[in-house]
Structure 1
Amino acid sequence: MSTIDRSSARTELARRGFGDATGADEYLTELEELMEISRSQLLADVAAAADSDGALAAIARVARRDPEPVRSVFRTERGRRSLWAVLGASEGFADFYLRHPEEIIDLRDAGDQLPSADEMRASLLESVGSVDGFASNGEEDLWVALRVRYRRLLARIAAFDLTQPDATEIMPRVSAALADAAGAALEASLSVARERLACGAAGAGIFPREQVAQTTFAIIGMGKTGARELNYVSDVDVIFVAGSADEDQLAESRAIDISIRLAVQTMRGIAGAEIEPPLWEVDANLRPEGKQGALVRTLESHLSYYDRWAKSWEFQALLKARPIAGDLALGTQYVEGVLPKVWTSAARENFVENVQRMRERVTDHIPKEEVALQIKLGPGGIRDIEFTVQLLQLVHGLTDENIRQQGTLDALDALVQEGYIGRSDASAFAKDYRILRVLEHRMQLRNLRRTHLMPDTAEEQRVLARASGLAPSASAVWSLWESVKREVRDIHVRLFYRPLLSAVAALPEDERVISTAQAHDRLAAIGFQDPTGALRHIAALTTGLSRKKTIQRHLMPIMLRWFADGTDPDYGLLAFRRLSERLGDTPWFLRMLRDSAGAAERLTAVLSGSRYIGELMEWIPEAAAWLDSDAHLQPRSGQALQNEARAIQTRHVNIEDAMRSVRALRRRELLRTALGAVLGVVSVEELAASLTTITEVSIQATLRAVRREIVPPEDNALDFSVVAMGRFGGRELGFGSDADVMYVYRANGVDPQRAQALSTKLVSALRHHSEDQRLPLDLDADLRPEGKSGPLVRSLDSYREYYARWSLSWEAQALLRARGVAGSVKLINAFIEVADEVRYPAKVDLQGIREIKRIKARVESERLPQGVDPARHLKLGPGGLSDVEWLVQILQLQHAHDVLGMRTTSTIQALEEAVRAGHMHETAASRLRAAWRLASRLRSANTLLSGQTSDVLPPDRQRLAGIGRLLEPMRTATQVEETWMGTARRSRRTFEKLFYG
């Protein structure tokens, strides 16, 4: 061949994927002469090779030893393609064919289909001459014959696997074939073991042939072997079971002795040192007591162990148990004996937590340098999928036989069908599982060695990409691996650590199913006051064949237990039914309850603990989505609410439409705050700030809307503002609090009478459009000058004149909490200047102070509702809110002129500034602070619990207990009562000493 022709040939070889075109050219020239086959025929199917250079070198080495088998394979298209595919993906098979060139001829007819289980079993038994369970003789070369035949069959499986268009699609069939091959190899090895133990004609054995024949011995496949999900080169987990056809005790002892030897010899045939390398490790460490336990036990001994001593992980291992060799009848008895124990194991104490910790220990023991490469054990690897699926099976399999599958993919399908896992999660898991298994298969094929590590060199990654067909390049296959890991880990963490799993597993046996005749009595026993009504709600939620009803059936037993832990389980269940009906077939709702990290338990807690929330959620059902994240329960900022309110005004020209949207905004944000408060996400200070902000934004939005309707353009110079008073002014609102306000205007050139008339209309419209029948917003103006008998709205000048000439001491006291919240900022600033002169006097009015003290005493005696125990009144009772607030306000009137820090509308801030200025001891302040905060919390909790506003600590023990549950850690009615009474007593003593002293 000329230099030009040779150069052209090498260019063509490089185009075909050869990295070493010169070397390839030399190999091909050699093969053309050695096998008398043209170069074009040799290269016809080279595209099937992941590593063209390696495959060609292997073919050349084998052909040098014996060209005829190679020549025979190259004469058929199927054989040629299989040869390139197998040797291009596996250096291990290249070494095998170099040892046994004659075996390569079997590839001539390979690649078209997988060998069947029966075909492989027959072939391997034939390789050792097995007849009636005994091999033909006890010669050592039987192990070699078995291993060579096994690898011939393995190559057929690989040829099929490597030549199919989609490796992920056929992966389950390939894994099943590998498991069947392993079972057949153990059967053939067992037949050799029997022959070696039996005394033949030459008397070379150990036991009489009849005794060996009468010994029943079963090999149980565990793990991937049992589930028919095996890899190319993997440990084969087994358990050995012994028995005897003779029930005599001596015969049983002898059977155990024989079985132990059979087990040892069977394992040696597969994994012992011979001329032909071992096939794989036979691992019997999943047996009772692990490595320390007996290698072989009788069926009765196995079952006794699992009844008395087995740990949780052992039942998880038994999930995939299947007889694979030996006496299949005994093996079937074993499986039938252990499976009922497997499917009740999740009810064991801390079962779920133990499984979770076991998975974490597996990850913790991976060498650091391997974590990023681990396909099987690492985060986002195969084990994450398998452990998740198995845990879901074991927990829900307590009551549902439909998900009791052995295979991972079959189990995923069943879990989806029965509603225990979402379709999207299951689809992602199944896709990723297939990808990971294909990557694992290709890595093990490379050298026919057990490995679960991704290659860390670009060249090996390139071969992996081509062999798997999953990616076009080394970088692409690595990117695919990284994206699969992230997706798997995300789903695993979300599903594997579901609180729902632990809760379902911990349910008492008689509560796992809700459709039994005893359901009525069980509901009554766990706390439902109306079991008959509860059963009606349950039937409405769970009866039917839809996916929604299926998921509800799974959720209901544990949710009933959670409802029963609440104050009012009957109302909680009713509210849940209403919520479910409002949401209809909304897919996210039940998916969230099933899959989130605690949304279901949170929902039961808020519905059974708060009618206020339950009634609001019926009208705002989409709020259930917030339960999935603490971030969604945090109060939104005032700026965010303002932006939304202004957008409403822009969007709606009609005032009725605008106010409907404003009311919806207010209800939604009050619900968000209530959820955060009940679930402990929002502190009492954050609660007050949030309720105040929501009220401010609502008033501001309403004022903008009504001003646009009422004030014509020619009167636009009119200034109008709303001033917050009382707890509203102090940013101290609780649930059910009124919004105390005053209204002020400034004419700014508008005719005074018209300004008064327009302002009066604004007040009337503001009050009208603020009304909300579902969630009242009471704008209370009783703290205005002259109280209820005074005009609702005044001009700034009128306020200035009134306070200068006629104001009473209580009106100065009321102004201590005055704070502008809506309308003209300039007018608000001007009003505050007027207020400051009154509420922060340069000279203390002693007569006024005495008058305030007199009014306080009169309030205590006259304003307490008749029949109410004063000690239970949180506002006006001894040590309550009124005591703290009036004492602080007296101190402000006396000292705020000089102590600028006390010029605040906040009770607690003013109290702290008084301590800092030396006007109160910290011990006294801490008692007052504790009483004020507790009273505020109790008022809000009472409103949340009942949905009704009240200042009285209820005498009803159940309601008190419900308040206690909302105020952790006060769990009982007695704790609530004693805590409040003690706190109020200490507060009252401090108040009397400082207020009247």
Structure 2
Amino acid sequence: MTAPGRRSSTFTRLLRHGFTDPSAAERLLESTELAPIRNDPVLLEALGATADPDLALQGLVRLLEAQPEPTARRELTDTLIAAKPLRDRLLGVLGASAALGDHLARQPRDWHALVMYEPRDLHPGVEEFERGLAEATDPVALRVSYRRCLLSIAARDVCGTTDLAQTAAELADLATATLRAALAIARAAAPDDAALCRLTVIAMGKCGGHELNYVSDVDVIFVGEAVDGADEGKALRAATKLAAHMMRICSETTVEGSIWPVDANLRPEGRNGPLVRTLASHLAYYQRWAKTWEFQALLKARPVAGDLALGAEYVTALEPLVWKAAERENFVTDVQKMRRRVVENIPAAEIDRELKLAPGGLRDVEFAVQLLQLVHGRADISLRSGTTLVALQALAAGGYVGREDAARLDDAYRFLRTMEHRIQLYRLRRTHLVPVEEADQRRLGRSMGLRTDPVAELNREWKRHATVVRRLHEKLFYRPLLDAVAQLAPGEARLSAEAARVRLVALGYVDPAAALRHIEALASGVTRKAAIQRTLLPVLLGWFADSADPDAGLLNFRKVSDALGRTPWYLRLLRDEGAAAENLARVLSAGRLAPDLLMRAPEAVALLGDGDGGSGLEPRERAHLDQEILAAVGRADDVVQAVTFARGVRRRELFRTAASDIVGSYGTETQPAEADQGALVDRVGGAVSDLTAATLAGTLRAVVREGWGDTLPTRFAVIGMGRFGGHELGYGSDADVLFVHEPREGVPEREASEAANKVVSEMRRLLQVASSDPPLLIDADLRPEGKSGPLVRSLNSYEAYYRRWSLVWESQALLRAEPVAGDEELGRRFIELIDPLRYPAEGLGDDAVREIRRLKARMESERLPRGADPTLHTKLGRGGLSDVEWTVQLMQLQHGWVEPGLRTTRTRAALAAACAAELISTEDAETLDEAWVLATRVRNAVMLVRGRAGDTFPSDPRELAAVGRYLGYGPGHVGDMLDDYRRTTRRARGVVDLLFYGA
């Protein structure tokens, strides 16, 4: 029994050497098995040097207990005392890997694999590992031999004999030897099959790249050929049996556990394709059907087992296709989209622990390196390595990546991969998640040499390296472009002009020469402006490349910077406000409308910042717009200046609305695209309608003040009609209106009418004066008698006309009437006048319904432009705006007198009310709403992209792609967009046929 004083002394020493459970360690040290070495003064020091001293001590006791006889136990203890290298290796492994401790307990003689390293054994290759596996003739023996080899690799790793790159290469070589051994076992089990075929195993992924993890799927592709004279079909069936058997040998679990899964899903057609193909079949697939990511995967293809000559033929045949991949349309965006998809699929609960796939993780380094290899590797064969760190060094040496950036990425990648290795080594399980338990993090930190405060140091270093990767990931593509033109890094290898051109073309720039000129103009020089823009450009260029028109984005940025570059707040905004620079990049590359508005008033860039609580892009309310415009009108010297002020406010607010729409549709790095497309449409419609109303109100005030002072001889109101009255204006919509007046007391009818007509004429003239501002066209064609009738009528005149002459189409048009400017009381009385017309008591008669249907059919046949595709015309086409709106309006005319919810000027609100009143099923209402929202978004997109209104999709491919980007369709998916539009509107037309036409 240990004396209390002795126990206390040992307890203290154990704590000092890093044990976390010194009581349990004391008991283990008292065990019989440790008697020969218990008092060895260096034992505790050796245990204390391990990642987990408690685990190492437990493993050592288990290993001693497992020795088959006393002489074997004595041999081990004697060696431990005499040989420090063995002591460090064995305890190092036991303290880092519970799984390898379990292996040693099952195979107690395997510790001999750690006794001595000859110089030639320090970095063994495939041949050495093959010798280590040579006696394994069945799956169980192969697992034992594999773990024995793994034991030696882990020992070299944890003791620092090998670095990260060497350890990963050894693991890949061990996997190669294992695949060869497994294939030999499979061939021996089926010699007849083996005689029929040539079979080669192509390693992919990390195994192919010579950078394998401790535990990882080993990705492979199989290629088979018939031997001379054999039937090809039989040969492929035989090769498939051999390949499948080989995979089972490696993947299945036995009493000795498993090795690792062999994954053949990178083959052509993935799981749906044949396991084994001929070389010709592989070549045909990659020439016709392969996607960008499949060529990216082939970067690491390497023959490792079976018929290596056939494997070499495979690599030689496919190599030219790999290095042409960068010429594919949307190449870079395809690669980046795949990366984003990986991140999006990470469970939210795991993203903060994900070492490999999360932003700033290992995959960011690998994807960036592979992308640059594919872009520049066709012309520079020095870049064609499948190993990430080797390729990164080659990219730096060639000037494709800045040397400092490459060194920081190399350092971060080594740290993160070492973390990954040590996490996997503990249980030999495939995982990329950083453990959450403090004990696990402590062991992990100590295994990486962090000893002062392992947990805190580990998390600090991990986050630091992840931040480096995250910041450099995008910069990696674009910073060398700046160096190439601005000569920012003297003495360092620089990207050649041709390499810069190739990179820009791959990134989607159509005119790389012009792009380089813009980059040079923005980044060159020693001014504060140039310095800040050099910091911003690498990220901005990436955002531009993510758009449908990178060239336009870069050109527009140069124009804005030329206009505002000497303005201190502009540079400060882009540098300091997180959202501003990305919002600007999205807006400048999304089409013509928003940049054109911005170029006329560059100071509106300020709206793109975070603002007060991030509200810079929120459309302003009508009351605020009225207040600003009316105040500006009041300060103006004359009517022209007043309307110029009002149009200036309209221009700025149109830009705000367009920018908000673009950012909401595209999303940003910190804010995903808005999911509710209907809310986006409603926001745009409401904002543009309010802005138009406020502009009309300001113009009316200016005209009255100029001609009559404070009081017009007649009350005057503007009634919004159509989309204007429905709060559904688009960027390019005309303002449909009615003008109504009522003579003031004592003013003759004629004088009042003349004044009202002068007001209307002057408003229309002033709002359409040619200027750099977007025109505001007033359309009064919905007035009584149409173009033949007077532009403005008195309230009594409207009453008389509607009482005697009103037609059903006018009642339908009045469904959207709403006062928007002028005398509020007069506007309210006009609405009281027309309500009985638009919500007729007892609804519509059969004759009226037939008349509405006849008018709709006539409009469809007469107004659809010649040659227009009726399945793609957003207004008059099948299931488009007209179809939905006329169907909703028919329900309003029929049921508005009894259903208050239908008494609204807004299409979507009326549709929702009809659904609530069970006039239409929920499914049909959703179908119509979806089609209406989509058609409206297409019209808005066309205006944003082209800068002019349009009712159908653009024919220009780049403009069409930009519309697709706005609608959420990535590069190469324009066809999907058109198919989805046709599908959505076809379903809507089915509902229209049922509800409107009664089909």
Q: Does 1:52 align with 2:53?
A: yes
The amino acid of 1:775's aligned partner reads: P
- Structure 2 distance, partners of 1:943, 1:241, is 53
**Inter-partner Cα distance in structure 2 for 1:938 and 1:455:** 48
Residues 710-749 of structure 1 mapped to structure 2, 5 A cutoff? 723-727=718-722, 728-729=724-725, 731=727, 733=729, 735-738=732-735, 740=737, 742=739
Residue 283 of structure 2 is matched in structure 1 by: 307
- Structure with larger Rg: 1
* Aligned with residue 700 of structure 1, among 687, 694, 700: 694
Given that 1:721 and 1:744 are in contact with CA atoms closer than 8 Å, whether structure 2 keeps it comes out as yes
**Residue from 192, 208, 231 that aligns with 2:213:** 231
- Partner residue in 1 for 2:515: 541
- Say whether the 8 Å CA contact 1:419–1:551 is kept in structure 2: no
1:820 partner letter? P
Task: Single out whichever of 476-485 and 720-729 deviates more from structure 2.
Answer: 476-485
- 1:6 matches 2:13: no
Secondary structure of 1:160's partner? coil
Q: Contact 1:234 / 1:450 at 8 angstroms: preserved in 2?
A: yes
Matched, 1:99 2:113: no
**Which one of 76, 79, 88 corresponds to residue 95 of structure 2?**
88
Return the TM-score normalized by structure 2.
0.50
Q: Is the 8 A contact 1:818 1:905 kept in 2?
A: yes
Shift in Å, 1:762: 14
Match of 1:530 in 2: none
Is 2:834 the partner of 1:832? Answer: no
Equivalent residues in 2 for 1:849-888, closer than 5 Å:
none
- The CA distance in 2 between the partners of 1:777 and 1:49, in whole Å, is 77
**What residue identity is the alignment partner of 2:109?**
R
Residues 397, 404 of structure 1: 8 Å contact kept: no
Instruction: Mark the runs of 5 or more structure 2 residues left unpaired by the alignment.
Output: 65-72, 136-140, 192-197, 231-238, 269-276, 476-498, 521-533, 563-570, 609-614, 637-643, 667-672, 746-750, 840-854, 856-861, 867-872, 918-928, 968-974
* Residues 1:356 and 1:933: Cα distance change in structure 2 (over 3 Å): closer
CA contact (8 A) 2:164 2:414 kept: yes
CA distance in 2 between partners of 1:737 and 1:429 (Å): 55
What secondary structure does 2:657 align onto? helix
Please give the secondary structure, in 1, of the residue aligned with 2:36. helix
Gapped regions of structure 1 (runs ≥ 5): 108-114, 136-140, 163-169, 198-205, 207-215, 251-258, 291-300, 496-512, 520-533, 564-571, 628-633, 845-859, 861-868, 918-928, 991-997
Q: Counterparts of 1:302-701 in structure 2 under 5 Å?
A: 303-304=279-280, 306-307=282-283, 318-322=298-302, 335-343=315-323, 404-409=384-389, 437-446=417-426, 463-468=443-448, 539-541=513-515, 578-579=555-556, 581-582=558-559, 607=591, 615-616=596-597, 640=621, 660-669=648-657, 690-691=684-685, 693-700=687-694
Shift of the alpha carbon at 1:10? 1.1
Letter of the 1:724 partner, please give it: I
Q: Residues 624, 489 of structure 1: CA spacing in aligned structure 2 closer, same or farther, 3 A cutoff?
A: farther
In the aligned structure 1, how far is the partner of 2:913 from the partner of 2:144?
Answer: 92
Q: Is the 8 A contact 2:125 2:173 kept in 1?
A: no
Tell me how far apart the structure 2 counterparts of residues 146 and 900 of structure 1 sit (CA, whole Å).
78
**Which secondary structure does the structure 1 equivalent of 2:820 belong to?**
strand
Letter in 2 for 1:737: D
In structure 1, what is the equivalent of residue 158 of structure 2? 158
Separation of aligned partners in 2, 1:81 and 1:440: 22
Q: 1:25 to 1:328 in 2, by over 3 A?
A: same
Over 3 Å counting, the alpha-carbon distance change for 1:744 and 1:764 in structure 2 is same
Aligned-pair CA distance for 1:340: 3.0
Match in the other structure for 1:71: 81
State which of 158, 162, 171 in structure 1 corresponds to 2:164. Answer: 171
Alpha-carbon distance, 1:49 to partner: 1.5
1:176/1:228 contact within 8 Å kept: yes
- Note if contact 1:69-1:104 (Cα within 8 Å) is conserved in structure 2: no
Shift of 1:775: 0.4
Change (3 A) 1:465 1:703: same
Matching residue's letter, 2:80: V
Bigger shift: 221-230 or 774-783?
A: 774-783
Q: Separation in 2 of the partners of 1:445 and 1:940?
A: 56
Distance change (3 Å), C-alpha of 1:894 and 1:620: same
Would the aligned equivalents of 2:674 and 2:680 in 1 still touch at CA under 8 Å? no
Q: CA deviation at 1:464?
A: 3.9
Change (3 A) 1:38 1:837: closer
Q: In the TM superposition, what whole-angstrom CA distance separates every residue of 1:11-33 from its partner, at most 9, and x where no partner exists? A: 33234332442453466678997
Cα RMSD, aligned residues only: 9.1
Change (3 A) 1:79 1:815: closer
CA shift in 2, pair 1:330/1:72, >3 Å: farther
Q: Is the 8 A contact 1:375 1:382 kept in 2?
A: yes
Given the superposition, is the C-alpha separation of residues 89 and 681 from structure 1 closer, same or farther in structure 2, using an over 3 Å criterion? closer
Q: Is the 8 A contact 2:129 2:174 kept in 1?
A: no
C-alpha separation in 2, matches of 1:671 and 1:21: 64
Task: Spell out, residue by residue over 1:858-883, the C-alpha distance to the aligned partner (whole angstroms, 9 max, x if none).
Answer: xx9xxxxxxxx999799xx9xxx99x
Three-state SS of the structure 2 residue aligned to 1:34 is coil
Q: Is the 8 A contact 2:510 2:551 kept in 1?
A: no
The residue that corresponds to 2:776 in the other structure is 777
Aligned-pair CA distance for 1:53: 2.2
Identify if the C-alpha distance between structure 1 residues 766 and 36 changes in structure 2 by more than 3 Å, giving closer, same or farther.
same
1:160, CA displacement in angstroms? 0.5
Post-superposition offset of 1:230: 2.2
The share of aligned pairs that are identical, in percent, is 29
SS at match of 1:820: strand
Alpha carbons of structure 1 residues 462 and 783: separation in structure 2 relative to 1, 3 Å: closer
Give the Cα separation in 2 of the matches to 1:535 and 1:89.
50
Residue 821 of structure 1 aligns to a residue whose secondary structure is strand
**Aligned pair in 2 of structure 1 residues 573, 488: CA closer, same or farther (>3 Å)?**
closer
Question: Aligned pair in 2 of structure 1 residues 461, 143: CA closer, same or farther (>3 Å)?
Answer: closer
Deviations 1:221-247, CA, capped at 9 Å, x for gaps = 65433312023466777899999xxx9
Contact 2:303 2:312 in 1 (8 A): yes
Preserved contact between residue 629 and residue 694 of structure 2 (Cα < 8 Å): no
Q: Deviation string for 1:261-307 (max 9, x for gaps)? A: x999x999999999xx99995999869999xxxxxxxxxx9755643
CA contact (8 A) 2:377 2:384 kept: no
Q: Does the Cα contact within 8 Å between 1:10 and 1:21 map onto a contact in 2?
A: yes
Count residues in correspondence.
Answer: 790
Deviation of 1:156 (Å): 2.4
When structure 1 is superposed on structure 2, of 346-355 and 26-35 the one drifting more is 346-355
Q: Which residue of 2 aligns with 1:120?
A: 123
Contact kept? 2:630, 2:701, Cα under 8 Å: no
Change (3 A) 1:429 1:329: same
Q: Could you tell me how far apart the structure 2 residues matched to 1:100 and 1:970 are?
A: 62
* Matching residue of 1:34: 36
How far the C-alpha of 1:664 sits from its partner, in A, is 1.0
SS in 2 for 1:229: coil
Q: Residues 221 and 321 of structure 1 are in contact (CA less than 8 Å); yes or no, is this contact kept in structure 2? A: yes
Distance 1:182 1:885 in 2: 66
Aligned equivalents of 2:417 and 2:259: distance in 1? 19
